Amino acid sequence: MTNQKALVLTSGGIDSTTCLAWAVRDLGAENVLALSMFYGQKHQRELQAAADVAKWYQVKHLQLDLSNIFQFSDNALLQGSAKAIPHTDYAEQLATGDGPVSTYVPFRNGVFISVAASVAIAHGCNRLYYGAHADDAAGFAYPDCSEAFNHAMAEAIKQGTGGQLKLIAPFVQDNKAGVIAHGLHFGVPYHLTWSCYEGGAEPCGECGTCRDRQEAFRINGVEDPLAYPQKPTNNGDETK
Amino acid sequence: MTNQKALVLTSGGIDSTTCLAWAVRDLGAENVLALSMFYGQKHQRELQAAADVAKWYQVKHLQLDLSNIFQFSDNALLQGSAKAIPHTDYAEQLATGDGPVSTYVPFRNGVFISVAASVAIAHGCNRLYYGAHADDAAGFAYPDCSEAFNHAMAEAIKQGTGGQLKLIAPFVQDNKAGVIAHGLHFGVPYHLTWSCYEGGAEPCGECGTCRDRQEAFRINGVEDPLAYPQKPTNNGDETK
């Protein structure tokens, strides 16, 4: 097809799974690698989802353990932290005006992208995809998802690899509903994905990422294919 | 003194040791942390040097093992690689026109800086120093030492941390002799440093980094305090 080869950062969630589908569409599964990170998160359900998605697309799946890097952070997502995962959506958390949300792991995306860049070059890739989108950056919830961050990081990778690798964030101007719109068009297997910050057998339906996910499906006029123990009621008028 | 707190990336070499001295001068040892990385390099003599230097300056010294990240790279510096460390200086290696030198570990500085940024924030630092200088970037030997890379990375860190952390590369426009000129002024303990890519009890004096180091001292009119088994002869007229 081409002499392009890509590495895609995947987490098992909506955005990175859609990003993987995008890369496979562009280059073919044989020219795509997926890379997922364990960073000390409390549960590993999302890594299983990432593996399931890679298997679905028949792409090689690499995993790296970066938990030692984040051992110094006290963050609600991480093992060893006493902080509870907030059961409010990002807009409510940001209304406190305290800057990044409590689930912001310091410069996590910067670390993930830099590590992925090194791994990508070692595997002969010339493209690196990741699924950042505008919703995550809104109000500085996750500053390392912003378009400004992405632009600077793309330049750092271009300069720091001597032009060998290009960073691509296809959804950096989309919101989450827009990402899902792309994915529905591509037939993305969203039933295999996992977004919940809690580690139960089913998604909790209450944490910020569960709420945002369900809302983004609703905006597209479809139901989230995951089974939730209880449906949130804040948009009950659209529940089918 | 101030409410500034810094993390300094240190490798035990000339540049990062001088950079540590710079940060200690600016902020005081009590406001400075040093961080060194094991990345799978064939020998760990340089990590011992980094520890010795941190002890000299009485700053807390952290070490992280990032070797799993670079496990896929076939590079002359890394364990498991059959490639020999070149015994020519960078100018000779670059004359081949093949781009980065064989001791370029893909995007290593990008990974180091990103990881250091995360660790720095977890420790309440608002400055991150590293010792990149113009010689290493010359001719794209190490593209992740260039001023363009540094500029983009600084912007990525500013954007990706919501302005919490500033990247500072004080020597990005200096050559190695210029770095040493600063260090001689600060009384840097260069006898504790280690630059050689080989792992012997004494520096080999022949690898690219040994040659460049000795030349940079000569330009400053002083002798490298390390004991070399045999002095190179290419500038024998200045040997005292």
Alpha carbons A52 and A192: distance in angstroms, whole number? 7
Average pLDDT, chain B: 85
User: Taking the model in full, what pTM does it have?
Assistant: 0.85
| Residues in chain B closer than 8 A to A153 (CB atoms) | 152, 156, 160
| Residues in chain B closer than 8 A to A106 (CB atoms) | 117-118, 121-122, 161, 164
Nearest to A118 among B69, B149, B160 (CB): B69
- A-facing residues of B in 52-91 (CB < 8 A) are 64-66, 68-70, 72-74
| B17: DSSP letter | H
**C-alpha radius of gyration, chain A, whole number:** 17
For B127, the enclosing helix (H) or strand (E) is strand B127-129
Q: For residues B154 and B166, is the Cβ–Cβ distance under 8 A?
A: yes
Helix (H, G, I), strand (E, B) or coil at B31: helix
Nearest to B162 among A74, A100, A115 (CB): A100
Nearest to A160 among B72, B110, B118 (CB): B110
Helix (H, G, I), strand (E, B) or coil at A63: strand
| Residues in chain A closer than 8 A to B110 (CB atoms) | 114, 117-118, 156-157, 160
Q: Phi-psi category of B132—alpha, beta or left, where left has phi over 0 and alpha has psi -120 to 50?
A: beta
Which segments of chain B have a pLDDT < 50? 1, 236, 238-240
The reported pLDDT for the residue numbered A207 is 85
The reported pLDDT for the residue numbered B85 is 58
CB contact under 8 A, A119 and B72: yes
Alpha carbons A196 and A193: distance in angstroms, whole number? 10
Ordered strands of the B6-9 beta sheet: B60-65, B32-38, B6-9, B127-129, B166-168
Beta bridge partners of A7: A33, A128
- The residue in chain B having the minimum alpha-carbon distance to the alpha carbon of residue A108 is B118
| Residues in chain B closer than 8 A to A65 (CB atoms) | 68
- In angstroms, the separation between the Cα of residue B160 and the nearest Cα of chain A is 4
CB contact under 8 A, A152 and B146: no
The reported pLDDT for the residue numbered A233 is 56
pLDDT per position in chain A (240 positions), as tens? 458 999 999 999 999 999 999 999 999 999 999 999 998 877 788 899 999 999 999 999 999 999 999 888 776 666 666 666 556 555 555 555 555 556 678 899 999 999 999 999 999 999 999 998 887 766 556 788 788 999 999 999 999 999 999 999 999 889 999 999 999 999 999 999 999 887 778 899 988 889 999 999 999 999 999 988 865 555 545 444
Question: How many percent of chain A have pLDDT more than 70?
Answer: 80
CB contact under 8 A, B153 and A146: no
- The residue in chain B having the minimum alpha-carbon distance to the alpha carbon of residue A148 is B159
Tokens describing residue A135: 């919703």
The predicted-structure confidence for A134-187, as pLDDT tens digits, reads as follows 877 665 567 887 889 999 999 999 999 999 999 999 998 899 999 999 999 999
- B-facing residues of A in 146-165 (CB < 8 A) are 146, 148-149, 152-153, 155-162, 164-165
Residue with tokens 């510096």: B77
Write phi, then psi, for A220 (nearest 5 degrees): -85, 0
The predicted-structure confidence for B174-200, as pLDDT tens digits, reads as follows 999 999 999 999 999 999 999 988 777
The reported pLDDT for the residue numbered A231 is 53
Nearest to A160 among B122, B143, B155 (CB): B143
